[in-house]
Structure 1
Amino acid sequence: MSTDLASTTELATPQEALDFGRRLGEVLRAGDLVVLEGPLGAGKTVLAKGIAAGMGVTGQVTSPTFVIARVHHPAAAGPALVHVDAYRLTGLEDIDDLDLDTDLTDAVVVVEWGAEVADRLADEFLVVRLHRRPDDVRELALEPHGPTWASRLTLP
Structure 2
Amino acid sequence: MTDTALTDTTTVTVATDTAMRALGSAIAAEVRAGDLILLSGPLGAGKTTFTQGLAQGMGVRGPVTSPTFAIARTHPSLVGGPDLVHVDAYRLGGPEELDDLDLEAGLAESVTVVEWGTGMAEWLNDDRLEISIDRHADDVRTVRVRRVGERWRGTLAALAADELE
Alignment TM-score > 0.5, same fold: yes
Could you report, residue by residue, the CA deviation over 1:91-126 in whole angstroms, capped at 9, with x for unpaired residues?
233112111111210100000000112321111111
Is 1:139 matched with 2:142?
yes
Please list every run of at least 4 consecutive aligned residues from structure 1 whose deviation after the TM superposition is greater than 6 angstroms. none
- Within 5 Å, give how 1:101-116 maps onto structure 2: 101-116=104-119
- Equivalent of 1:153 in 148, 153, 156: 156
- Equivalent of 1:41 in 40, 44, 58: 44
- Structure 2 counterpart of 1:41, which letter? G
Is 1:83 matched with 2:91?
no
Is 1:13 matched with 2:16?
yes
Which protein has greater RCO, CA pairs closer than 8 Å, 6+ apart? 2
Is 1:27 matched with 2:66?
no
CA-CA distance at 1:150 after TM superposition: 2.4
- Structure 1 counterpart of 2:79, which letter? A
Could you report, residue by residue, the CA deviation over 1:37-79 in whole angstroms, capped at 9, with x for unpaired residues?
1011110000000000010001200000000000001112110
Could you tell me which runs of 5 or more consecutive residues in structure 1 were left unpaired when the two chains were aligned.
none
**Range moving further from structure 2, 62-71 or 97-106:** 97-106
CA-CA distance at 1:7 after TM superposition: 4.2
**Range moving further from structure 2, 128-137 or 113-122:** 113-122
Is 1:72 matched with 2:75?
yes
Aligned-residue CA RMSD (Å)? 1.3
Distance across 1 between alignment mates of 2:10 and 2:77: 32
The count of aligned residue pairs is 152
Distance across 1 between alignment mates of 2:106 and 2:131: 20
Alpha carbons 1:31, 1:105 under 8 Å: kept? yes
- Structure 2 counterpart of 1:83, which letter? H
Q: Which has the higher helix share?
A: 1
Alpha carbons 2:98, 2:121 under 8 Å: kept? no
Instruction: Assess, with a 3 A threshold, how the Cα gap between structure 1 residues 79 and 109 changes in structure 2: closer, same or farther.
Output: same
Alpha carbons 1:129, 1:142 under 8 Å: kept? yes
Distance across 2 between alignment mates of 1:47 and 1:94: 24
- Percent of pairs with identical residues: 47
Alignment-derived partner of residue 59 in structure 1: 62
